[in-house]
Structure 1
């Protein structure tokens, strides 16, 4: 089955390169956009933890996971080739002190394949890194629109990873990421004649085409500490790197329809080369995570994870204008706690006893400060893993409810509900056949 599904990988790369609007958040204006969760539905349903690693699920956050040990539940059989694909739907309520508005987005989240080769394991895949999608307006003293900001796009990444099992329970790995994408933003400055907007307005449009490489290193350690309990510990580190931004800017004369649609009547390209802005370097911040967990294999697990991201020197792609209450960045942190429970994975007559039940929560300081307000995020998640035939594949459903931001100091609070769906498929490509 997986061999036939690999062609989907090529199709989705083409779709992702073409682009999708992966968010409807005003906070995606800042930096390179909103950070996307870079894990599977299984991880996200447990508060985002990735400390749990096994032989039948792809772990996108730690390349050491590619070199897990063989399937103990199947008499030491070689671990399977693993294929994972997932997407999500996000419903958001944007709220200020005086008004509210609703928005939604549906996105492809990841596709990945992990292939075992003895003590080694290989992985590759595609997933979004950041996402931009906003429409912001500022008003003048008369309550009319003064500026309108729009933005869309984001950064995606293709990764190729290698894991190696040093000893029983101890694995290391490294991922190489190629980041690519584009971010487009514009600002319209409205002019009025006796309180009536003039027919033709001026718009500045910017486009940044982004590309660059970075690495992610990982280590995973598992050990039985009693006859029934297994301890898990993980760590990952992604060093700071740069991403190249090739920039274009134009000043346009536009007319606007009654529905807000903007039509270009004339356009002049700005010579960014003479300004030293045609090509700039942006920083991808370093990321460090450490996790610890304990559980009974194939029964239950609970773990916690801490993430530190050096976002204090993050900068935005090319744009000459900023909305009111310009931002500052400090280092970002996330604390995640979660786990799962399986009533009886061997049950033959009760499907729901073989189902995996997951739950967790996370608290994140995004590192973004606007008008002296720290933008923080909190989410509670839960989900299920529905077994498919063969015992090494599942369909996964996850939910997350949470909020981002605040209504203090004229800011926007986002209340969100996420629905995530995925397939996690295992296939025995390299199973040795036995003959009597």
Structure 2
């Protein structure tokens, strides 16, 4: 690999470390629950195709959604390096008012390489969950009325992963991702007891130091000049720990009492998914169905109603013409759509969740690498029963650098 690529990787790792500490100043009011908004480990290809990938094999792009796909990338590609950034605009609507916030940062870093013709690997960093909110409200407390409450939270849990893909027999591959989760999330609940000249604060802190593992399998069926790829993924879930502390302060911020509090447990669900992809020379049409057993989840600090979730996603990729003489003939186009039921029911109300995306991959460096541009729109929640509907628009840019041997692609 060229020296500049090694420098770029090292620099991005440093930037990602500091960005992980600072980003998600504001993400979603729904991140008040549990460990916040949970994210999938993805690449730019997955995000621009509506989040599909379980049954996708591409010889030019990474697909972390199913580790069995890593072996589909073949010679003459020897290395792939990908880093992504995003800018997000969120609008929050209630039945009587609305608000808007923006955020942004690094979305992922992925690096693919090959040990042998039958063993491929991928490593990277990506967000696992994020918390960012500040909510002010007035409630009754005992005989007192109009007591001011403030809820605020921030932080991230990130995942460092190493994935491996093995070609077991012809057309059958097995993959495994081993992830290390790290980071912290802090949530505070502050009660302003003005009549007692004091402030009561509860602090909930989650510190993640946890290993996780997930598996994938893919089988390729040749159909004349096309191929049908069937894929499955599975994860048995995990448990994270936390602590809850409480403190009573006077108006001068002097501590009156301090309690170390209870140990907390966050049990996250097992999941399984099935995907199918129809592959031709220049296109991929794919669909995923994923199940998450959220009814078995448990957060010891919050009384929440969880429900099992089903996610359906459909995506399309046009690869472009590798022999095109013009620049735009080499460009790759992607689009996709997903819908699922959210894992929480609040006050007996379901929270709809759906989204769509579209993107273009523009070749650079004589066609060896690419700049990927993606736009996505997501909607979560409802204004029914005084709840919040969150509309999110995101623009993402991913830089993909590939080392290839023996190929020179031409364009004007």
Calculate the TM-score normalised by the size of structure 2: 0.89
Partner of 1:57: helix, strand, or coil? coil
Match of 2:243 in 1: 247
CA apart distance, 1:143:
9.5
Alignment check: 8 A CA contact 1:23 1:131 kept: no
- In structure 2, runs of 5+ residues without a counterpart are 408-412
Query: Number of residue pairs matched?
Result: 399
Alignment check: 8 A CA contact 1:79 1:116 kept: no
CA apart distance, 1:343:
4.6
Task: Choose the corresponding residue for 1:270, options 232, 249, 259.
Answer: 259
> Relative to 1, partners in 2 of residues 1:362 and 1:338: Cα closer, same or farther, differing over 3 Å?
same
Separation (CA, whole Å) in 2 of partners of 1:391 and 1:231 = 27
Output one character per residue of 1:296-330: Cα deviation in whole Å (capped at 9) or x when no partner: 22x1221110111122232337x5xx6xxx63111
- In structure 1, runs of 5+ residues without a counterpart are 71-76, 256-262
Partner of 2:132: helix, strand, or coil? strand
Separation (CA, whole Å) in 2 of partners of 1:164 and 1:236 = 15
> Relative to 1, partners in 2 of residues 1:161 and 1:268: Cα closer, same or farther, differing over 3 Å?
farther
Match of 1:305 in 2: 288
CA apart distance, 1:248:
4.9
Output one character per residue of 1:324-356: Cα deviation in whole Å (capped at 9) or x when no partner: xx63111122110111224523212x2112111
Alignment check: 8 A CA contact 1:87 1:107 kept: yes
Match of 1:89 in 2: 87
> Relative to 1, partners in 2 of residues 1:54 and 1:254: Cα closer, same or farther, differing over 3 Å?
farther
- Whichever structure has more strand as a proportion of its residues is 2
Match of 2:202 in 1: 204
Separation (CA, whole Å) in 2 of partners of 1:390 and 1:145 = 64
CA apart distance, 1:49:
0.5
Separation (CA, whole Å) in 1 of partners of 2:230 and 2:25 = 32
Separation (CA, whole Å) in 1 of partners of 2:76 and 2:364 = 19
Partner of 2:247: helix, strand, or coil? strand
Mapping of residues 333-412 of structure 1, within 5 Å: 333-348=310-325, 350-412=326-388
User: Within the alignment, does 1:49 sit opposite 2:56 as a pair?
Assistant: no
Alignment check: 8 A CA contact 1:169 1:222 kept: yes
Alignment check: 8 A CA contact 2:56 2:69 kept: no
Separation (CA, whole Å) in 2 of partners of 1:55 and 1:23 = 37
Separation (CA, whole Å) in 2 of partners of 1:378 and 1:53 = 25
CA apart distance, 1:22:
6.3
Match of 2:410 in 1: none
Task: Choose the corresponding residue for 2:164, options 134, 137, 162.
Answer: 162
Task: Choose the corresponding residue for 2:67, options 63, 66, 73.
Answer: 63
Separation (CA, whole Å) in 2 of partners of 1:315 and 1:30 = 11
CA apart distance, 1:374:
1.2
Match of 1:5 in 2: 8
Separation (CA, whole Å) in 2 of partners of 1:386 and 1:145 = 55
> Relative to 1, partners in 2 of residues 1:112 and 1:204: Cα closer, same or farther, differing over 3 Å?
same
User: Within the alignment, does 1:237 sit opposite 2:234 as a pair?
Assistant: yes
Alignment check: 8 A CA contact 1:56 1:80 kept: no
RMSD: 2.5
Match of 1:288 in 2: 272
CA apart distance, 1:420:
1.1
Calculate the TM-score normalised by the size of structure 1: 0.85
User: Within the alignment, does 1:139 sit opposite 2:138 as a pair?
Assistant: yes
Separation (CA, whole Å) in 1 of partners of 2:257 and 2:179 = 36
Alignment check: 8 A CA contact 2:89 2:393 kept: yes
CA apart distance, 1:182:
1.1
Question: Higher mean Cα deviation, 60-69 or 139-148?
Answer: 139-148
Output one character per residue of 1:260-300: Cα deviation in whole Å (capped at 9) or x when no partner: xxx8443643133xxxx34x443232121211111322x12
CA apart distance, 1:360:
1.0
CA apart distance, 1:48:
0.6
Separation (CA, whole Å) in 1 of partners of 2:66 and 2:328 = 30
